[in-house]
């Protein structure tokens, strides 16, 4: 089983526009969709859609629309009851897949609720193969919350501790690498911009996200610098350029033929789900990367934050290239 943890879940509303976004003008939407969201929630939705057992851990009132959406799609979840409503995020999509996101901050949770969330996560993760710590943190959370959660998961394990994946951004992502050996992730899933920030902190020469996205060899070298800091593996998504996977043993680039992009919302989350799906089936690292890119490409071709099932992906279309790590 794969457990996902989303401290700041959301109701994701996607508004599709008939043409380019025009600031200051009135535009009529072509369609509006809404899904239960947040990075961890999206990973669970994608795994369940492909027939894999997953459990989402998150805060939320029983009547909250986010939890109602999970019930509707038969996604198992364990909530920490809270009084305040969860946030709503809005994505504006233009033809061709250009996406503008407006994310609310989410409800603030006090220290007692933060501790209760970690205890709920630890209890719900017993026997799990992976735990995914994903997304932004609500207001008031310490930036090193994910490092703390990782240490608690490992110290509380009755037997073999679950592998831990982290997919976040900004300070929560950077601080996930500050928890020492017991808090270090087994897998990081940054995009190019996040990889550039992590690699610079690890001593890699400064580079922009655009530069890494345009140069997969440089992205692999940047990811290798992060791996040398103690992370087990880095799965870095590079938008339409594919993704790179770097471990202590190798580095690979995966590319997919161009797809007609509809919405990029949740594509990175689907890529992580594809990686975990293949890993759970015993696939080699390069083939885990293959399924990650196939999942991400399929998600980009679907409306809103719709996640693909594995039978909607085309891993045979993915090209894998071995890369140097330095």
Question: Sheet harboring 31-37: ordered strands across?
Answer: 31-37, 10-16, 87-93, 99-102
Q: Determine the Cα–Cα distance for residues 322 and 158; give it in Å rounded to an integer.
A: 38
CB 2 within 8 A of CB 47: yes
Catalytic residues: 269
State how far the alpha carbon of 113 is from the alpha carbons of 56, 79, 325, in Å: 17, 12, 42
Q: Determine the Cα–Cα distance for residues 140 and 137; give it in Å rounded to an integer.
A: 8
DSSP secondary structure string, 81-145?
--SSPPEEEEEEE-TTS-EEEE--------HHHHHHHHHHHHHHTTT-SEEEEES---TT--TTH
Structure tokens at 323: 């890369």
Neighbour-count burial for 223-245, b at 16+ CB within 10 Å, e otherwise? bbbbbeeebebbbbbbbebbbbb
* 79 Cβ neighbours under 8 A, 6+ residues apart: 57, 58, 59, 60, 61, 62, 67
Q: 242: alpha, beta or left, given left = phi > 0 and alpha = psi -120 to 50? A: left
Q: Determine the Cα–Cα distance for residues 7 and 64; give it in Å rounded to an integer.
A: 15
């Amino acid at each position: 089983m794969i457990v996902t943890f989303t401290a700041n879940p959301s109701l994701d509303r996607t508004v599709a526009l008939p043409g380019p976004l025009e600031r200051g003008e009135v535009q009529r939407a072509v369609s509006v969709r809404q899904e239960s969201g947040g990075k961890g929630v999206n990973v669970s939705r994608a795994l369940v859609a492909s027939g894999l057992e997953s459990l989402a851990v998150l805060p939320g009132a029983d009547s909250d629309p986010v939890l109602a959406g999970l019930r509707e799609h038969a996604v198992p979840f364990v909530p920490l009851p809270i009084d305040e409503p969860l946030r709503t995020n809005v994505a504006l999509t233009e033809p061709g897949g250009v996406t503008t996101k407006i994310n609310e901050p989410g409800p603030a949770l006090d220290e007692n609720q933060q501790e209760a969330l970690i205890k709920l996560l630890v209890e719900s993760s017993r026997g799990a193969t992976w735990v995914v710590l994903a997304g932004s943190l609500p207001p008031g959370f310490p930036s090193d919350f994910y490092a703390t959660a990782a240490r608690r998961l490992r110290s509380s394990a009755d037997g073999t501790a679950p592998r831990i994946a982290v997919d976040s951004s900004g300070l929560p992502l950077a601080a996930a690498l500050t928890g020492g050996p017991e808090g270090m992730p087994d897998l990081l899933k940054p995009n190019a911009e996040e990889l550039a920030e992590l690699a610079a902190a690890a001593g890699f020469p400064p580079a922009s996200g655009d530069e890494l996205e345009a140069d997969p060899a440089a992205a692999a070298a940047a990811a290798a610098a992060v791996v040398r800091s103690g992370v087990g593996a880095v799965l870095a998504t590079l938008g339409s350029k594919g993704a790179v996977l770097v471990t202590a043993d190798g580095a690979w680039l995966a590319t997919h033929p161009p797809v007609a992009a509809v919405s990029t919302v949740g594509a990175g989350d689907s890529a992580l789900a594809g990686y975990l799906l293949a890993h759970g089936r015993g696939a080699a690292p390069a083939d885990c990367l293959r399924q990650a890119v196939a999942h991400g490409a399929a998600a980009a071709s679907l409306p809103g934050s719709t996640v693909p099932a594995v039978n909607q992906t085309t891993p045979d279309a993915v090209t894998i290239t071995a890369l140097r790590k330095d």
